[in-house]
Amino acid sequence: MTHNASRRFFLGGSLAATAAGAAGIISPASLAASGQVVKPANLYGPKPGIAKLNANENPYGPSPEALKAIAQAASSGGAYYAYTASQYLTDMIAEKNQLSAANVAITAGSSLILAFAAYAATSKGVILGPDLFWDTTSMAPVRTGGPQIKRIPNTANLDIDLDAIYQAIDDDVAMVHICNPNNPTGKLLEPTKLREFCVKASKKTLVLVDEAYNELISDGPSHSMIPLINEGHNIIVARTFSKIYGLAGMRVGYMLGSPENIEWIEQFGLGGYSVNQAGLAAAIASYHDEGFKTFSRDKVAQAKEMIATAVKENGLTALPSSTNFMFVNLGKDGDANTFRQAMEAEQVLIRGQYRSYTPWSRVSTGRIEDVQMYVNAMPKALDTMYKAIRA
């Protein structure tokens, strides 16, 4: 009976599509009903007219050099597994950071290897972190029945409380997860204090520092914990090509650590086997492209200034940000989810509520013209939000 019902539905849909076609009014809905796959207009990016400010992407990438490399890799290497390119990028990263190739693991975006690290850690104990951080990868084991993340409250200013986290390290903690600069707050830890924390905490357990946004800081190297790996501390650092390099869709990320930690973590996934030729080519071409990174930082700074001005003009506040997004306080009566919906009605996509932080709204910097759409829409979206809350 199920087969016959499906067949009747398919035939009915096909006849409807044929009739619509004869009338010259074939629509995506009728094509879908006929079983034909409809190619969306926005297959490789946001729909035209939509300001996509919800994912911390750099829409100005890939860089011109990366685009050339992508075309070459796709045409000459797309048929082959990317062992050679993966090893070459590994060597580049190792050389720049004064490490060996055994200290580097590359995967399809840093999310993958961060998830591997989370699975490795929860095979031994629990993950410890602040209450508010980018926890998607650390939540991966939780979603498959693993232990909950042990969370420490942020300070009143939404800073990461390193002292409290250190005091919370016990025998059950298998890994401490710190995101610096932090997502979603955008705040940057003082490097000397973070370094001191990492050194003493790593004597008790493994410390993971996610530095996805480090290159967005003009003096990023002075804030990186990578040198601690060279000093022999029990530290791993995650980086990505998704942010300043504008390669979010190309999926290339990496982790740095001792050979023992890298080997232990990689056993939970396929490692470099998951990376594609085009992504690797783009990453190789971008890695030392200081001109494009400077250009991108300038665009981010311009966009953040626009957002900060709009926030102030609308009577709101935002946290200081060292990233390509801002965390906006909508006020004690604000509601991030309602504000997100109101912005979406104005063709602007932003993030909604994080955990219990109801009035806090995150917006990415995106293209300048898209940020202008956010700025223009803010008064109306706030009015819509307040009316919905009072209703």
Q: What is the pLDDT of residues 14-58, one digit of tens each?
A: 333 333 333 344 455 555 566 678 887 788 899 999 999 999 999
Whole domain around residue 33: which residue ranges? 10-21+28-41
Residues 272, 298 within the same domain: no
Average pLDDT, the chain: 90
Residues 304, 232 within the same domain: no
pLDDT number for residue 11: 31
- For residue 309, what is the domain's CATH number? 3.90.1150.10
pLDDT number for residue 1: 35
Residues 231, 353 within the same domain: no
CA nearest 90: which of 221, 346, 280, 282? 280
Would you say residue 260 has pLDDT above 60?
A: yes
Under 8 Å CB-to-CB from 173, ≥6 apart: which residues? 125, 126, 127, 128, 150, 204, 205
Q: pLDDT tens digits, residue range 288-333?
A: 999 999 999 999 999 999 999 999 999 999 999 999 999 999 998 9
Q: Which of 286, 309, 334 is the last residue of a domain?
A: 286
Coil/strand/helix, residue 177: strand
What is the tally of structural domains in the chain? 3
Q: pLDDT tens digits, residue range 53-102?
A: 999 999 999 999 999 999 999 988 888 889 999 999 999 999 999 999 99
pLDDT number for residue 39: 80
CA nearest 116: which of 34, 188, 206? 206
Q: Are 161 and 131 spatial neighbours (Cβ–Cβ below 8 Å)?
A: no
pTM (two decimals): 0.88
B/e letters for 321-357, b = 16+ CB within 10 Å, e = fewer, are bbbbbbbbbbeeebbbebbbebbbeeebbbbbbbeeb
Residue corresponding to tokens 């940057």 = 188
Residues 87, 75 within the same domain: yes
Residue corresponding to tokens 């990496």 = 254
Would you say residue 207 has pLDDT above 80?
A: yes
Kindly state whether residue 46 falls inside one of the protein's structural domains.
no
Kindly state whether residue 149 falls inside one of the protein's structural domains.
yes
User: 384 versus 25: which is more confidently predicted?
Assistant: 384
C-alpha–C-alpha distance, residues 350 and 368, integer Å: 15
C-alpha–C-alpha distance, residues 114 and 116, integer Å: 5
CA nearest 53: which of 301, 368, 358, 337? 368
C-alpha–C-alpha distance, residues 328 and 103, integer Å: 38
Kindly state whether residue 301 falls inside one of the protein's structural domains.
yes
Residues 182, 314 within the same domain: no
pLDDT number for residue 80: 87
Q: Which of 286, 316, 334 is the last residue of a domain?
A: 286
How large is the average pLDDT for residues 202-209? 98
pLDDT number for residue 18: 34
Among the ranges given (6-10, 18-22, 109-113, 217-221), the one the predictor scored with the smallest mean pLDDT = 6-10
pLDDT number for residue 292: 97
Kindly state whether residue 94 falls inside one of the protein's structural domains.
yes
Residues 172, 262 within the same domain: yes
Residues 298, 203 within the same domain: no
pLDDT number for residue 29: 54
Read off the pLDDT band of 175 (50, 70, 90). Answer: very high
Residues 199, 347 within the same domain: no
pLDDT number for residue 19: 35
Kindly state whether residue 57 falls inside one of the protein's structural domains.
yes
Dihedral class, residue 251 (left if φ above 0, else alpha if ψ from -120 to 50, else beta): left
Instruction: Report how far apart, in Å, the C-alpha atoms of 127 and of each of 65, 119, 149, 209, 300 are.
Output: 39, 10, 5, 13, 32
Read off the pLDDT band of 2 (50, 70, 90). Answer: very low
Q: Which of 257, 286, 315 is the last residue of a domain?
A: 286
pLDDT number for residue 76: 85
Residues 157, 136 within the same domain: yes
Kindly state whether residue 4 falls inside one of the protein's structural domains.
no
Residues 226, 353 within the same domain: no
Kindly state whether residue 166 falls inside one of the protein's structural domains.
yes
C-alpha–C-alpha distance, residues 329 and 318, integer Å: 6
Would you say residue 271 has pLDDT above 80?
A: no
Residues 343, 258 within the same domain: no
- For residue 226, what is the domain's CATH number? 3.40.640.10
User: Considering the chain, what percentage of its residues have pLDDT values greater than 90?
Assistant: 82
Would you say residue 125 has pLDDT above 80?
A: yes
pLDDT number for residue 177: 98
pLDDT number for residue 40: 78
Kindly state whether residue 376 falls inside one of the protein's structural domains.
yes
Residues 198, 227 within the same domain: yes
pLDDT number for residue 81: 86
